[in-house]
Amino acid sequence: MRSARSDRPKRRPDLSRAPGDPSLREILFKDVRARDLPRSVRQELRSLHRFYLDEERREKLHAMGRVRRAFWIFVFLLKSLLAKLSPARRVMFAAAILFSIFGSMRFPIGDTRVIVGLRPWGFVLLLVVLMLELKDKLLARDEIEVARQVQLALLPREHPRPDGWSLWSYTRPANDVGGDLIDYLDLGPRNLGVALGDVAGKGLGAALLMAKLQATLRALAPECRSLAELGARLNAILCRDGLDNRFATLFYLEVVPGESRVRYLNAGHNPPFLARASGIETLEPSARPLGMFPRETYQEGSIDLAPGDLLVIYSDGLVEARNARDEEFGAERLRLILPPMRGLPAEDAGARLLAEADRFLGDERPLDDLSLVVIVRRPPE
């Protein structure tokens, strides 16, 4: 008599995946939420539009009608995509497009014609190009992650609290690594250095130049007699060792514990806003960015802050942030929201500024690194 167990048909092992591997269904629908899917798709399409189409082409498309615009969007995207592929992948991608358009080809063999379907081969070629691009991305991921960890280690671990001052800073790269510099320099008992720099561009190249700028600044700041000398020496080194079309803006200041006067250097950076009881002032740049012209001269500025005065230093990523309607956050918007924040501790004011920026962006992804430094002159205790 056979047991019931022996009567059951044996299940064939699933050879498509190893034990413990997720199924195809699990891979496809991992982290997918139905209510978030339309928004995610819109974000991805907008990011493609901004990445592959430059400002000039976007302006041309904006002036067209809907039908003509749809046609030229396809043409511009296709040309831009082909230009970014390697030669071999460019040929495979172009062949896949042609195969998809023509669908089939007929070959005469004797008295008959053989029809060969091309669309399946077009799909295979597109899949190969996608796999090659994904391979490159995955190979670069480990290197970028190491660079990210190094960059995080270079950021300040805590906010200093010099007598009479409240300081707070924040940075958020648009990609895995960024080109913004935030640093506090301990210059001994006499003063504290605070720096916010912005390297042109973003990504790994900007991050490497940012690290060089930070190391150079830390080496030169303690020994320079004036900030004008500091700017000139930084500029000379970046012009000598920098890359073509790569430059950096820098706002650097020094505060003295217990005193109200600060010295500052603005090398082509966005004018910081100073919120006083009497209104909003700006600290305009005195020279062009670092690394552009070898013989550029720089000037040192100084200013007194009254108790409660609020100084906000920011990078392009804040004022050039764009929402879903392609509106820019803008310096004027920042200027208008600052007066009510005067008198707040630096951390509270910074949190409010970030909340305003995130509210403006909504679901949009940031296009540039966003960095903030907030400095408040504290009332005497």
* DSSP letter (8 states) at residue 273: E
Contact yes or no for 289/260 (Cβ under 8 A) = no
DSSP string, 100-131: HHH-EEEEEETTEEEEEE-HHHHHHHHHHHHH
Cα separation, 57 vs 79, whole angstroms: 12
pLDDT, tens only, 1-36: 444 444 555 555 554 555 556 665 665 566 666 666
Provide the edge-to-edge strand list for the sheet that holds 301-304: 180-186, 192-199, 248-255, 261-267, 301-304
Contact yes or no for 333/361 (Cβ under 8 A) = no
198 φ, ψ (degrees, to nearest 5):
-140, 110
Cα separation, 38 vs 144, whole angstroms: 30
For residue 143, pLDDT over 80 is answered with no
Paired tokens of 329 = 């956050």
The predicted pLDDT at position 184 comes to 95
How many Cα atoms occupy the beta-carbon half-sphere of 251 within 13 Å? 24
The predicted pLDDT at position 21 comes to 62
- Packed helices 66-84 and 55-62: angle between N→C axes, nearest 10 degrees: 160
Domain boundaries, the chain: 33-149, 158-377
Fold of 158-377: Phosphatase 2c; domain 1 (3.60.40)
**Whole-structure pTM value:** 0.71
Q: How many CB atoms lie within 10 A of CB 38?
A: 9
The predicted pLDDT at position 2 comes to 47
Contacts of 201 (CB under 8 A, 6+ apart): 179, 246
The predicted pLDDT at position 268 comes to 94
Cα separation, 302 vs 15, whole angstroms: 73
